[in-house]
Structure 1
Amino acid sequence: MIGRLTGLVAAKQPPEILIDVAGVGYEVQCSMQSCFAVGEIGAKAVLHTHLIVREDAHLLFGFVSKEERALFRQLIKANGVGPKLALAILSNMTVGQFVQAVHHNDMSTLVKLPGVGKKTAERLLVEMRDKLKDFGELASAPTLDMAPLADSAAPASSPREDALAALVALGYKPNQAETVVKKVAKDGMNSEAIIRDALKAML
């Protein structure tokens, strides 16, 4: 099991980050919270990771905090929640916000998440309540700094295209993602700023 990576941010294509560890590049799927917080290209980064081994792939997921990884691990144990949906949840909500939603039985917030319908929201509220006992102190914890980071390398595509691809990868429908990107994107914004504002607009 790969539990942690310490290296340099070699590339960022949300929700994927490439971490260079002593010359070996690890492709890591991250929540948007972690993508925003991990640092600029070339910066040193530490990611707490979770490896999922499948017949056709080894998938590595990374998080800037142990609490976010712990919640990810609890989410993927819930009935009907796979790693992609868990990552989408953590991209739209901080750990504290999710804990608050469960503690307050806030279904209306959960059903706004991509891939979370009424039945899935009901299961999350029931199954996660006991699992979140150790997360109680996080319900009022400050959220991660989601300020956009400056692009430090020329992107292969435009910021709007990168933002659209990231939102679709998180589970949003292409037409829904395209509509909100057009709404929030302004000249001069980098992809992370567009993603941040798009996620806020859809909740």
Structure 2
Amino acid sequence: MIAYIRGVLTAVHDEAVIVDVHGVGYEIVCANPFVFQHSLNNEITINTYHYVREDIQMLYGFKNEDEKYLFTKLISVSGIGPKGALAVLGSIDVGGFVEAIEREDDKFLTSFPGIGKKTARQIILDLKGKLHSFVTAPVHSTEMEQPSEAGSKGLEEAREALKSLGYTDREIKTVIPKLQYENDHNTDEIVRKALALLMKN
């Protein structure tokens, strides 16, 4: 098992990063590769999970041990593969997701692509009560964390506005996770915050 990769971050792509370790380039698939953008051309350590099946071997990367642990638990649930687990990790904080499981919040869990009611119930059945002791991130109430319908609409309108300003999907993707749970439903305000984040990148 490859627990982590330490080397020079040489590239950041839409779905993966490349880390050079003594002349060998490791492709590491991540939920949001752009969180590592600030370390480009510098040495970096990425927590990894080495996924091995008969027809495939992949390295998945994570910002911290909490994300990695949640990933391993999610792919153990029937109906969830690595792609589905990454989709979850790309748009939540770990503590909020754990709280949703503890609260048996089907509505929150089914808001993620590929997770229907049956899979949501399976997640709750398999993982409820088993994550708190291993996850170090603070657990927050999902009532506050879950984007409202109005908030989701404002976020989508902001995404379109940024595209019209000339920003690429790749650039927009770097800031969307930070805006996911903005309480402000005003599209102009979300765009203003997004522009401020983009200027820092």
TM-score scaled by structure 2? 0.71
- RMSD of equivalent CA atoms: 2.8
Question: Residue deviations 1:141-200, cap 9 Å, x none?
Answer: 7xxxxxxxxxxxxxxxxxxxxxxxxxxxxxxxxxxxx99954553535354541255565
Correspondence for 2:67: 68
Residue 201 of structure 1 deviates from its aligned partner by 6.3
In the alignment, what sits opposite 1:17? 17
3-state SS, counterpart of residue 130 of structure 1: coil
Structure 1, unmatched stretches of 5+, are 142-177
1:128 maps onto 2:134 in alignment: no
Q: Relative contact order (alpha carbons < 8 A, sep ≥ 6): 1 or 2 greater?
A: 1
Q: Is this contact kept in 2: 1:6–1:47, CA < 8 A?
A: yes
- Contact 1:17–1:29, Cα closer than 8 Å, also in 2: yes
> Gapped runs of 5+ residues in structure 2?
141-155, 183-201
- Per the alignment, residue 40 of structure 2 pairs with 41
Equivalence for 2:89: 90
- AA of the residue aligned to 2:63: V
* Closer, same or farther: CA 119–183 of 1 in aligned 2, 3 Å: farther
Residue aligning to 1:79: 78
Structure showing greater Rg: 2
| Conservation of the 8 A alpha-carbon contact between 1:52 and 1:58 | yes
Give the aligned length.
166
Distance in 2 between the 1:136 and 1:48 partners?
Answer: 15
Of the structure 1 ranges 185-194 and 62-71, higher mean CA displacement relative to structure 2 is found in 185-194
User: Contact (CA 8 Å) 1:19, 1:25: kept in 2 or not?
Assistant: yes
Q: What SS does structure 1 have at the residue aligned with 2:35?
A: helix
| Secondary structure in structure 2 of the residue aligned to 1:17 | strand
TM-fit CA distance, 1:11: 1.0
SS, match of residue 38 in structure 2 = coil
Task: Work out the CA distance in 2 between the residues paired with 1:15 and 1:90.
Answer: 13
Write the deviation string for residues 63-111 of structure 1: whole angstroms up to 9, x where unpaired.
1201111111111111111111111111111211211211222221111
Identity of aligned residues (%): 32
Residues 79 and 119, structure 2, Cα contact 8 Å, conserved in 1: yes
Secondary structure in 1 matching 2:87: helix
AA in 1 matched with 2:3: G
Greater CA drift, 63-72 or 186-195 = 186-195
C-alpha displacement of 1:120: 1.0
* Counterpart residue number, 1:99: 98
SS in 1 for 2:167: coil
**Residue 31 of structure 1 corresponds to which residue in structure 2?**
31
2:195: which partner in 1? none
CA distance in 2, matches of 1:188, 1:87: 28
Matches of 2:116 and 2:162, distance apart in 1: 25
Alpha-carbon separation, structure 2, partners of 1:60 and 1:28? 5
SS of the residue corresponding to residue 42 of structure 1 reads: coil
Change (3 A) 1:65 1:77: same
Equivalent residue in structure 2 for 1:195, among 161, 173, 177: 173
The answer (yes or no) to whether the contact 1:3–1:48 under 8 Å persists in 2 is: yes
* Higher mean C-alpha deviation, range 38-47 or range 118-127: 38-47
